[in-house]
Amino acid sequence: MSKKNLFVAIVGRTNSGKSTLFNRLSETSKAIISPMENTTRDRNYADIFWQDKKFTLIDTGGMDTAAKDPLSSGIFQQVNKAIEQADLVLFLIDGSTDILPQDRELALLLRKLKKKVILGINKIDNFKKEKLLDQNYHQLNCDHVAIFSALNGSRTGDLLDQIITLLPQQKKNPEKFYPSLKLAIIGRPNVGKSSLINAILGEDKVLVSPLPHTTRDINDVEFIYRDHKFILVDTAGIRRKSRVGDWSNKMIAKIEKEGVHASMETLKRADIVALVLESQMSISSQDQALVELALEERKNIVLVINKWDLVPEKDETTINAYADYFNQKLPFAKWVPMIFVSALNKLRVKKILDLALEINQQANMQIAEEDLNQILAVVLRKYKPKQKMTITFGQHKSDLKLNFMKQIKTNPPVFFLSTPKPKNISPAIVKIIEKEIRNKYEFLGVPLKIIIGKE
Ligand code: GDP
């Protein structure tokens, strides 16, 4: 008999970084994030796999946002349930500020409930021991302490190790784990989406049953391919009308006009969007609207050009000619890979899945700060003469100065560019930086975001 599921609840006052930590731990580990009962939209639970063990992480962050005054009883009532359910509580405090009365109240509550607690001291980017010793963390009376930065991820792996050690023993490898990937196949009617899905599923795939807590949609189809669990999102929805969700009115009007709105919710739920086009060398406004949607939602994307069998007299230049055509028609998405397939002949159908895996891997890349700074140096070296302006890297004085760049998030990747004068960074410079990042790391099919700030 395997033991019941183990739960770890993250609690802490507002702004201690609960959701950031939840996201960080679920990204660091191989997490399956899923809505559970009473949380139809919020993703408050993640199944975390670490060192061959599994536990369910609960983020109480979403629960306390309603409480205007964090000291009010509301917050405690709401987190109480999560705490009761938990085998271990991760009590989070903001290590960059002093201990607050709310922290003390929460510590008291945890002690009353006699829970096993790790005191998580968050927002410690630079490990300065002396500073930490100044703080009277012992006042909070926790047996176990972990120090980390949820934002940049430093020492969060150690935290996961510590959690596993403190949780009750469980059987190794409770179930074979496959990282999952939600793939949405979208496109205009009649481009061959259903045929593609059938071609994909018609092969030697193993269908799997849903794991506990992965309340997959009834219309999703799961299968294992190359040790990954693929979830084809809303396969039936391709033919039925879908709910509208919370898209901007302008976008809804556009999509409804284009008659492709079944794709909207599907797209939103996906990790990777496969936009299917026909090989007739025609791109419609519907296709463009779908690409726009994918970009607006910052989804990983691949263009699948179907019905390749209908293209007559192909030679080795044909694909390039087609690629040029589509690139020209969709100039805003040059980094989007294309694959030419035939659902009818099952040509390169499996390659769509291989490409999706590659895109997923690239979307999860974490680039080190020193490598990003090298890219800034390349940008300065290469583009300075053309830009006809002085860009200096580091200490030198000039109109435009780039301090450093770091990656603050993966999948989709977000970079932070620090400069003393953010206003001086034109969109053209941002484009140049993105181009250089892609030159070096490709980020095939992956949208990039660069945030500019002072810091
Ligand atoms: P959906 O509306 O996008 O799901 O499109 P369907 O899968 O229903 O396909 C529409 C039509 O295109 C059907 O008649 C299919 O047989 C045909 N079709 C789909 N894929 C291919 C292909 O690769 N080659 C050819 N020649 N026809 C295809």
Question: Per-residue pLDDT tens for 157-189?
Answer: 899 999 999 998 766 555 567 788 999 998 887
Q: Within this chain, do residues 329 and 227 fall inside the same structural domain, yes or no?
A: yes
Confidence of residue 290 (pLDDT cuts 50, 70, 90): confident
279 Cα–ligand 1 center, Å: 12
186 Cα–ligand 1 center, Å: 13
- Range with top average pLDDT, 11-15, 252-256, 446-450: 446-450
Closest atom of ligand 1 to 195 CA is 7
Q: Within this chain, do residues 206 and 317 fall inside the same structural domain, yes or no?
A: yes
Please check the confidence at residue 238 and state whether its pLDDT lies above 60: no
Is 66 within the bounds of a domain?
yes
16 Cα–ligand 1 center, Å: 52
Q: Within this chain, do residues 268 and 335 fall inside the same structural domain, yes or no?
A: yes
Closest atom of ligand 1 to 276 CA is 3
Q: Within this chain, do residues 354 and 415 fall inside the same structural domain, yes or no?
A: no
Give, for ligand 1, the residue of 186, 190, 235 to mutate: max count of ligand atoms closer than 8 Å to Cβ. 190
Is 173 within the bounds of a domain?
no
Spatial distance between the Cα atoms of 95 and 444, rounded to a whole number of angstroms: 38
Q: What is the pLDDT of residue 169?
A: 79
Q: Within this chain, do residues 44 and 26 fall inside the same structural domain, yes or no?
A: yes
Is 321 within the bounds of a domain?
yes
Confidence of residue 389 (pLDDT cuts 50, 70, 90): very low
Backbone phi, psi, residue 396, to 5° = -60, 150
Q: Any idea which of 78-82, 317-321, 356-360 has the lowest mean pLDDT? A: 78-82
262 Cα–ligand 1 center, Å: 17
What is the mean pLDDT of the segment spanning 379-391? 58
Q: What is the pLDDT of residue 5?
A: 81
Confidence of residue 357 (pLDDT cuts 50, 70, 90): very high
Is 322 within the bounds of a domain?
yes
What is the mean pLDDT of the segment spanning 435-444? 93
Please check the confidence at residue 216 and state whether its pLDDT lies above 80: no
What is the mean pLDDT of the segment spanning 370-390? 73
Question: What CATH number is associated with residue 437?
Answer: 3.30.300.20
202 lines ligand 1 (CB under 6 A): no
What is the mean pLDDT of the segment spanning 403-410? 93
61 lines ligand 1 (CB under 6 A): no
191 Cα–ligand 1 center, Å: 6
Buried b or exposed e, range 141-169, using 16+ CB within 10 angstroms: ebebbbbbbbbbbebbeebbebbbeebee
Q: Within this chain, do residues 41 and 110 fall inside the same structural domain, yes or no?
A: yes
235 lines ligand 1 (CB under 6 A): no
Please check the confidence at residue 397 and state whether its pLDDT lies above 50: no
Q: Which domain holds residue 277?
A: 180-360
Is 249 within the bounds of a domain?
yes
Kindly report, residue by residue over 111-133, the tens digit of the pLDDT. 888 889 999 999 887 666 545 65
Q: Which residue's alpha carbon is nearest to atom 25 within ligand 1?
A: 307
Please check the confidence at residue 392 and state whether its pLDDT lies above 70: no
Give, for ligand 1, the residue of 185, 193, 195 to mutate: max count of ligand atoms closer than 8 Å to Cβ. 195
Please check the confidence at residue 191 and state whether its pLDDT lies above 50: yes
Q: Within this chain, do residues 132 and 275 fall inside the same structural domain, yes or no?
A: no
259 lines ligand 1 (CB under 6 A): no
- Range with top average pLDDT, 219-233, 258-272, 298-312: 298-312
Question: What CATH number is associated with residue 285?
Answer: 3.40.50.300
Q: Within this chain, do residues 350 and 402 fall inside the same structural domain, yes or no?
A: no
Domain boundary among 111, 137, 166: 166
What pTM did the predictor assign? 0.60
Please check the confidence at residue 399 and state whether its pLDDT lies above 50: yes
Domain boundary among 331, 360, 389: 360
193 Cα–ligand 1 center, Å: 7
Closest atom of ligand 1 to 197 CA is 7
Is 172 within the bounds of a domain?
no
Average predicted confidence (pLDDT) for the chain? 78
What is the mean pLDDT of the segment spanning 90-97? 90
Domain boundary among 138, 166, 194: 166
Q: What is the pLDDT of residue 208?
A: 42
Kindly report, residue by residue over 96-110, the tens digit of the pLDDT. 888 888 888 888 888
What is the mean pLDDT of the segment spanning 200-229? 60
Confidence of residue 337 (pLDDT cuts 50, 70, 90): very high
Q: Within this chain, do residues 71 and 117 fall inside the same structural domain, yes or no?
A: yes
Question: Which residues are within 8 A (CB) of 433 and not within 5 positions of it... i.e. 6 or more apart?
Answer: 375, 376, 379, 405, 417, 450
Q: Within this chain, do residues 131 and 192 fall inside the same structural domain, yes or no?
A: no
What is the mean pLDDT of the segment spanning 133-151? 82
Question: Tokens in use for 423?
Answer: 């206003």
Q: What is the pLDDT of residue 385?
A: 41
Confidence of residue 273 (pLDDT cuts 50, 70, 90): very high
Q: What is the pLDDT of residue 372?
A: 95
Confidence of residue 225 (pLDDT cuts 50, 70, 90): confident
72 against 8, higher pLDDT: 8
Is 175 within the bounds of a domain?
no
Q: What is the pLDDT of residue 260?
A: 57
Q: What is the pLDDT of residue 207?
A: 43
Q: Which residue's alpha carbon is nearest to atom 6 within ligand 1?
A: 192
Confidence of residue 353 (pLDDT cuts 50, 70, 90): very high
Q: Within this chain, do residues 349 and 373 fall inside the same structural domain, yes or no?
A: no
Please check the confidence at residue 136 and state whether its pLDDT lies above 90: no
Please check the confidence at residue 213 and state whether its pLDDT lies above 50: no
Q: Within this chain, do residues 186 and 162 fall inside the same structural domain, yes or no?
A: no
Q: What is the pLDDT of residue 67?
A: 45
148 against 31, higher pLDDT: 148
5 lines ligand 1 (CB under 6 A): no
Which of 350, 345, 332 is CA-nearest to residue 294? 332
**Number of domain units in the chain:** 3
Is 20 within the bounds of a domain?
yes
Question: Tokens in use for 21?
Answer: 């930590």
Q: What is the pLDDT of residue 128?
A: 61
